[in-house]
Amino acid sequence: MDSTSKNPCIPDKRLAAVCGLFCPSCTVYIGAHEDPKRLEVMSKRTGQPLDKLQCNGCRSDKRCYYCESLCTMFKCAAEKEIEFCGECADYPCEELKVFQAAMPHRIELWKSQERIKEAGYEQWYKEMVEHYSCPACGTINSAYDMACWKCGGAPGCDFVSQHKEEIIQQMAKKK
């Protein structure tokens, strides 16, 4: 594991996705760094081998198969020499709109881009740590952890508390 796994609570730009997602709250990232059983489930569900699910964040040298080969925002931002999509003259582009609308964990992308622009990514990052941390034990959870994966406290985080209905609807579609 690289240094991104040492303390995901300290602002690290490698863990701040160009689209506005917070990498430490990604179920793949959590599985790769703290909860390997999660990756085994994802491997079975996606048909991807475990090594393709390893991820150290959006801007790291090791990204999961989805972020490495299917995400176009990282490449686009690099080509335009911008740090976050919110800096782009075309923001929000059609591709980002489609991406944002597809899954509940992306609901807050516009809010994240605005906050990054207003306060800087480090402040936004600190706020995301709090937003995705279990109120009982402080563990960072994903947007789909209805209860904390470590202590079982519910809700798993503030994000889940705020978007529970959208998450439940999406999870019901996957079954």
Categorize the per-residue pLDDT at 174 as very low, low, confident or very high, splitting at 50, 70 and 90.
low
Report the C-alpha dihedral over residues 96, 99, 105, 109, rounded to 10 degrees.
10
Distance CA 131, CA 141 (A): 9
52 close to 31: Cβ distance less than 8 angstroms: no
Orientation of helix 121-132 relative to helix 158-174, angle to 10°: 70
For residue 1, what pLDDT is reported?
A: 38
Distance (Å, rounded) from C-alpha 126 to C-alpha 101?
25
According to the model, what pLDDT value does residue 3 have?
Answer: 43
Q: Flag whether pLDDT at 32 surpasses 50.
A: yes
Summarised one tens digit per residue, pLDDT across range 107-116 is: 999 999 999 9
Q: Categorize the per-residue pLDDT at 62 as very low, low, confident or very high, splitting at 50, 70 and 90.
A: very high
Residue 136 has pLDDT above 50, yes or no: yes
Q: For a pLDDT cut of 90, what percent of the chain falls above it?
A: 89
pLDDT bucket at 4, cuts 50 / 70 / 90:
very low
Closest CA to 24 of 164, 159, 167, 154: 159
Contact by Cβ (8 Å): 153, 137: yes
